[in-house]
Chain A
Amino acid sequence: MTLPKINEYESYIYRCIHCRACRFCYSGEPDRTGYGSYTGILMNCTAGKKYGWESHFGSGKVWMARALIEGTIQPSEEMADILLRCPTCGNCQVQCDNNIPTTEIIEAMRATCVDAGIPPHQKHHAFLESIKANNNPYQEKHEMRTSWTQGLKAEKADLVYFVGCTAAYRQSDVARATARLLEKLGLNFSVLRDEVCCGSPALRIGQISVVKKLIEKNLEAVRHAGAKKVLFSCAGCYRTFRVDYPKYVGELPFEVVHAVEFFSDLLDKKLLTPSKPFSQKVTWHDPCHLGRHITAHMKGRASIETPDVKKFRQEWFERPRRILRSIPGVELREMYRNREDAWCCGAGGGVKSAYPDLASETAQERIKEAEAAGANSLITACPFCLTNLSEAVRAMSSNMTILDLFQLLDRTI
């Protein structure tokens, strides 16, 4: 079980002409207008913006990859440090007109460093050890994973809710809200008692070997539950099951669905009707793992977006917005950088634990953008984004309310 090595991306890596368009949002839409300083083509690379070296932009990493292939540089702690200062948000990938899968290349370079024996960052080492020992990266006991489920039945059901480590241990309100929503809708579901970390924290930093057992355990847990559909409230877990797991085990014997997708379908069928008002100016933060990671995956290696993929992309990003608009009192204020051009929260790719200053500055920029859009509530659907953005709000003493979409939905149903 190994991910493709860096050499397997050679043809894509050599495609980079170093045009550097990948550092922007709306890189092909110079006449797009927004508000204040949020207008036109803007810098959209979190690491590049903070550090400024070419190596910290997507284009520079691709040229590092080329040097790695050509043997002019070798894996090193120095290289790993550069690579890991990137939340792998995927902006560079969606901006690239030469369709270079930069996110995969960065992850493959990280894996190459691991294979070469480069030790993990101290913070990463800690969570990797915790994953191995406790099945979660938070140093929490495995048996406490379902402590939030008091009162919930654990029967077999076609639908199982995969909670994920962050909602289980750090954002249990999200887990409870999601479960309550399912109950309110009268849906028969269960929570996996033997769920373990999905592996995303390890995969994103190139620690492939850690993931094998996690995949096996999770697949067995789903099999044991007899589930036909697995529901996620976590963007990262969903991305990992949908995009990464099939690379290792082939097509999954069950359907994976994110709760945004799930509840927006129910909304469309009028089976979900928010009735209690939330009279706020609300903005939506597109989590990278739920947003462009999924649409880029759907596009695949094709250089041209087919009409079907385009339709999927447009519809995919519209789903959470449709839910928000359905809530009485919600006034939706779109941030300038949205959908595939969204500014990342800064937490992903191992950044939050190892480089908290980058994660915090990135999240604070997002809060400023939300404020500039006139919003007083920022809603998202990723417990990791939720954590990082909430911390940014506290650091800035901002009045912005940060909520998970399912917490909000739970309040309005």
Chain B
Amino acid sequence: MHLTVKYGPLENDLTLDGVSMVEYARPSPKVIDELKVIVGQEFVTTSRPILASYVAKGIMGLECTVADAVVRPRTVEEIQRILRLAGSERIPVTPTSGGLSGGFACPFVEPGGILLDLSRMDRILEVDVDCRYMVVEPGVTSGAAWSYFRSNYPHLAPPIPDGAPPAATLLGDAIERGFSLVTNKYGPQADLVLGMEVVLPTGAIIRTGSWALPGAKPFYKWGLGPDLGGLFLGAQGTMGVVTKLAIKVLPHTEHKDLIAYGFETVEDMVEATFEVLKKEICVLVQCGNWWLVPTRIAPEAEVSSQKDFWSKAGVPEWFSNFEIWGRDEEDLNYQRRIIHSVMGEAKKRGIRAEEWKLHPKQKASRLTKPNKIAIPYALFRGSFLFITWYTPWKDASQFCRIAEEKMTSYKIPPILWVASIEHGREAICMPIVCFDPTKPDELKKVQDFNRDTTDVFLSKGWLNYRPDPKIHSRKTFSMASDYFDLLKRIKSVLDPDGIMHPGRLTLP
């Protein structure tokens, strides 16, 4: 069966000039047999219940397609053969690293094609303690990586995603430019990437960074001339299959603390926190409003939406958490003093800032890595979306005000989270949209809110993280048609048959 799919950046009409029209095939029984020859009979399935089990809706998106087949390769060579076969038959291929790094990787277009489940490729291949990097396969989870380093290299930490559960993979988080446990200090996870091995849809293999030079270690992130690595970071599987990742590992310490301050307004929070950020001491700085506390508890707790209750319990209207790692207690004390001193100065300027004394359990829940802190938001309404945007740090208060107003108007509890990237050079701002997934009108409301705010946020020059194809990508690329056109031409070079995760970035 063949389906014709049209792609383009416009929201309501995909047939604008220059749009691609691609005809895709479902994997035929013959193709399934060939896939079984490639990876082994037991690692290919078209079982409908199994296909259904791979679906994920929530966290980062609400729409996905059920794959026609799931294939679980073990080697790079198998992936090369799968992609060549899929290309020759024009079957879509969507790679997923096995975790769910705060999002989802499911096929987007009909037909769903082949879902490449890379979870069998789960080896930590190398740790170089001199150049301080590790090389991992796609299926290495943050839980496994953390355990491995605690046992073997306790003075080093793998750059695992923060707030993502232990099944999230290092590779998935890195190539999606996600949030790590040290993002405030080192930037988005992708900034720690030193090199990648990528199987292109043609079956060709390239490496990026210094790794591109045969025989070279992945010690340097920039490659031979203009580096091609950026094409695969944020590509959401549309350009090729990343089969190995070389990523920096970081100094780890047992001396950690979390200091929190509360504020009456988001403006005070952003301004006072910025002064701390500019001191460039914290590994992680996360902020938000009081809603973040009760919404992780449960709907059955009737007090969950009662602001007065939480205020009396000491939860501030807005707050900032400063996570600090020190070489020793003295270093930690030095950092503590800086934070308290900066807040003291802020108070003198009229900012209403008060230290929020956290219970040791509250501190522990944040300092534990990887943690499950982001999971229980589903208790509140049944499911949730993290709608994530990048802004300059100082725009974060305006972002929160707009988001708060919009969420209230849509009768969505205005749960807001903000975090710093690279010591406040940028902010990651996130309305956490909790909703009842069993009610179609709730789903529509969430999508309407998402579209509505996308118009506003893009007009402010803010960028979406991991864009939803139907909402963010279209609008974003319609505002940057020259960029989209070039991207499309580059993709056509890498992926001439347009088989890699088609539609995901509004790309064929």
Q: Do A and B come from one complex?
A: yes
A-to-B contact residues, CB < 8 Å? 10-11, 14-21, 23-24, 27-31, 33, 39-42, 52-55, 59-61, 63-64, 66-67, 72-73, 76, 78-79, 82, 97-99, 301-304
Cβ contacts A to B, 16 pairs, < 8 Å: A11-B382, A14-B383, A18-B100, A20-B100, A27-B143, A30-B147, A39-B150, A40-B146, A54-B53, A63-B54, A72-B66, A97-B375, A98-B375, A303-B300, A303-B379, A304-B298
Tell which of B49, B99, B144, B167 touches A55, judged by Cβ atoms closer than 8 Å. B49
B504 CB to nearest A CB, Å: 18
In contact, B54 and A304 (Cβ under 8 angstroms) = no
- Within 8 Å of chain A (Cβ to Cβ): is B465? no
In contact, B368 and A60 (Cβ under 8 angstroms) = no
In contact, A21 and B147 (Cβ under 8 angstroms) = no
Separation of A64 and B49 alpha carbons in the complex (Å): 6
Tell which of B56, B120, B379 touches A63, judged by Cβ atoms closer than 8 Å. B56
Q: Which residues of B contact A79 (CB under 8 A)?
A: 49
In contact, A98 and B379 (Cβ under 8 angstroms) = yes
- Decide yes or no: A28 and B371 within 8 Å by CB, A15-B383, A39-B151, A53-B70 being known contacts: yes
Given A19-B165, A19-B372, 18 further pairs, Cβ under 8 A: A14-B436, A15-B382, A18-B58, A18-B100, A21-B166, A21-B167, A30-B143, A30-B147, A33-B150, A40-B143, A40-B146, A41-B146, A53-B72, A61-B53, A63-B56, A76-B48, A302-B298, A303-B300
In contact, A14 and B56 (Cβ under 8 angstroms) = no
Q: Which residues of A contact B99 (CB under 8 A)?
A: 20
- Within 8 Å of chain A (Cβ to Cβ): is B495? no
- Within 8 Å of chain A (Cβ to Cβ): is B323? no
- Decide yes or no: A97 and B55 within 8 Å by CB, A30-B147, A55-B49 being known contacts: no
Q: Which residues of B contact A67 (CB under 8 A)?
A: 49, 52, 55
In contact, A53 and B50 (Cβ under 8 angstroms) = yes
In contact, A73 and B375 (Cβ under 8 angstroms) = no
B106 CB to nearest A CB, Å: 10
Separation of A97 and B371 alpha carbons in the complex (Å): 11
In contact, B53 and A302 (Cβ under 8 angstroms) = no
In the complex, which residues 162-181 of chain B have their Cβ closer than 8 Å to any Cβ of chain A? 164-167
In contact, A82 and B167 (Cβ under 8 angstroms) = no
A319 CB to nearest B CB, Å: 26
In contact, B438 and A11 (Cβ under 8 angstroms) = yes
Give the interface residue-count category, chain B.
35 or more
Interface SS of chain B: helix, strand, loop or mixed? loop
Q: Which residues of B contact A33 (CB under 8 A)?
A: 150-151
In contact, B382 and A82 (Cβ under 8 angstroms) = no
- Within 8 Å of chain A (Cβ to Cβ): is B369? yes
Separation of A14 and B439 alpha carbons in the complex (Å): 11
Separation of A263 and B55 alpha carbons in the complex (Å): 48
Separation of A116 and B45 alpha carbons in the complex (Å): 24
Separation of A180 and B43 alpha carbons in the complex (Å): 52
- Within 8 Å of chain A (Cβ to Cβ): is B251? no
In the complex, which residues 55-81 of chain B have their Cβ closer than 8 Å to any Cβ of chain A? 55-56, 58-59, 66, 70, 72
Return the CB mask of B278-303 against A: 1 if under 8 Å, else 0.
00000000000000000001101100
Q: Which residues of B contact A78 (CB under 8 A)?
A: 47-49
Separation of A102 and B190 alpha carbons in the complex (Å): 35
Residue in A closest to B59 when the chains form the complex, CB atoms: A17
Return the CB mask of B402-442 against A: 1 if under 8 Å, else 0.
00000000000000000000000000000000001110000
Instruction: Report which residue of A29, A30, A61, A79 has the largest number of chain B beta carbons within 10 angstroms of its beta carbon.
Output: A30
In contact, A76 and B49 (Cβ under 8 angstroms) = yes
Instruction: Report which residue of A10, A11, A17 has the largest number of chain B beta carbons within 10 angstroms of its beta carbon.
Output: A17
In contact, B166 and A30 (Cβ under 8 angstroms) = yes
Residue in A closest to B102 when the chains form the complex, CB atoms: A19
List 3 tightest A-B contacts by C-beta distance, closest first. A40-B147, A60-B53, A20-B167
Residue in B closest to A61 when the chains form the complex, CB atoms: B53
In contact, B49 and A39 (Cβ under 8 angstroms) = no
Q: Which residues of A contact B383 (CB under 8 A)?
A: 14-15, 17
Q: Which residues of A contact B167 (CB under 8 A)?
A: 19-21, 23-24
- Within 8 Å of chain A (Cβ to Cβ): is B376? yes
- Decide yes or no: A55 and B150 within 8 Å by CB, A20-B99, A98-B378, A303-B300 being known contacts: no
Instruction: Report which residue of A15, A54, A55, A76 has the largest number of chain B beta carbons within 10 angstroms of its beta carbon.
Output: A54
A212 CB to nearest B CB, Å: 29
In the complex, which residues 117-155 of chain B have their Cβ closer than 8 Å to any Cβ of chain A? 117, 119-120, 143-144, 146-148, 150-151
In contact, A82 and B165 (Cβ under 8 angstroms) = no
In contact, A15 and B47 (Cβ under 8 angstroms) = no
Separation of A63 and B437 alpha carbons in the complex (Å): 13
In contact, A55 and B53 (Cβ under 8 angstroms) = yes
- Within 8 Å of chain A (Cβ to Cβ): is B370? yes
In contact, B378 and A15 (Cβ under 8 angstroms) = yes
Tell which of B48, B54, B59, B368 touches A73, judged by Cβ atoms closer than 8 Å. B48
In contact, B379 and A41 (Cβ under 8 angstroms) = no
In contact, B146 and A30 (Cβ under 8 angstroms) = yes
Q: Which residues of A contact B72 (CB under 8 A)?
A: 52-53
Separation of A28 and B166 alpha carbons in the complex (Å): 8
B71 CB to nearest A CB, Å: 11
A35 CB to nearest B CB, Å: 10
Residue in A closest to B58 when the chains form the complex, CB atoms: A17
- Within 8 Å of chain A (Cβ to Cβ): is B261? no
A123 CB to nearest B CB, Å: 21
In contact, A303 and B150 (Cβ under 8 angstroms) = no
Separation of A67 and B143 alpha carbons in the complex (Å): 29
Q: Which residues of B contact A302 (CB under 8 A)?
A: 298, 300
In contact, A24 and B166 (Cβ under 8 angstroms) = yes
Residue in A closest to B166 when the chains form the complex, CB atoms: A41
In contact, B369 and A30 (Cβ under 8 angstroms) = yes
Residue in B closest to A19 when the chains form the complex, CB atoms: B165
